[in-house]
Structure 1
Amino acid sequence: MKNLIALFLAGFATLAVAGETSAVQTPTVESYSYGTKLDIARVINLSTIPDVCEVVPATMTYEDSQGQRHILEYKAMGDGCSSH
């Protein structure tokens, strides 16, 4: 019984530490402006650009060369302007 309690406490402590670590590493959203220096080593996710003919907000989640995760917000032209 003591072993079971010790195992439960060890598992709970591991989850508590993992929860604190992920909370600290949550990236904040950074706004892109012309001339912003970017260090993009790996793109993780690009938001979907809507099918409209106007400028819309978009986001890119990426990792830099140090392995830090970033979320970049930028403006993009919608995909609905083609003249078919």
Structure 2
Amino acid sequence: MNSKKLGPPVKIVFASLGLLLSCNALGESLPITYKYGAKLDIVKVLSMSTEYTPVCKPVDRIMKYIDSSGKTRALKYRVLSAVCSSGRG
């Protein structure tokens, strides 16, 4: 077999590509925090998740959605935990 070692420029290209892809994935996974009065661009809601707590208190809710440009985004905002409405908290 004929094997060649990759030179430094090729290694830099692959490392840069990996870094670029990981930054893009990281950017999609970090939710932005909603601020009152912010204009929202939501075309379709994909999912909503809320952390569980057995106590009545404000908790974070994450909504994943698609905006008008087709990008998947995440939004974080505060809600009262589910036990607040059940009367058990």
- Whole-angstrom distance in 2 between the partners of 1:33 and 1:42: 20
- The equivalent of 1:7 in structure 2 is none
What does residue 66 of structure 1 align with? 69
Q: Is the 8 Å Cα contact of residues 53 and 78 (structure 1) preserved in structure 2?
A: yes
Report the Cα distance in structure 2 between the residues aligned to 1:49 and 1:24, rounded to whole angstroms. 25
Cα displacement string for residues 14-58 of structure 1 (whole angstroms, at most 9, x for unaligned residues): xx88xx657525413200011011011011111135253110011
- Give the aligned partner of residue 50 of structure 2: 48
Superposed structure 1 runs of 4+ greater than 3 Å apart: 20-23
- Amino acid in structure 1 at the alignment position of 2:59: V
Secondary structure in 2 aligned to 1:80? helix
Structure 2 gap segments, 5+ residues each: 1-13
Name the count of aligned residue pairs: 72
Relative to structure 1, is the Cα distance of residues 49 and 32 closer, same or farther in structure 2, using a 3 angstrom cutoff? same
* Residue 83 of structure 2, aligned match among 75, 80, 84: 80
Offset at residue 83 of structure 1 (A): 2.8
**Structure 1, unpaired ranges of 5+:** 1-15
Give TM-score scaled by structure 1 length: 0.64
Amino acid aligned to 2:57: E
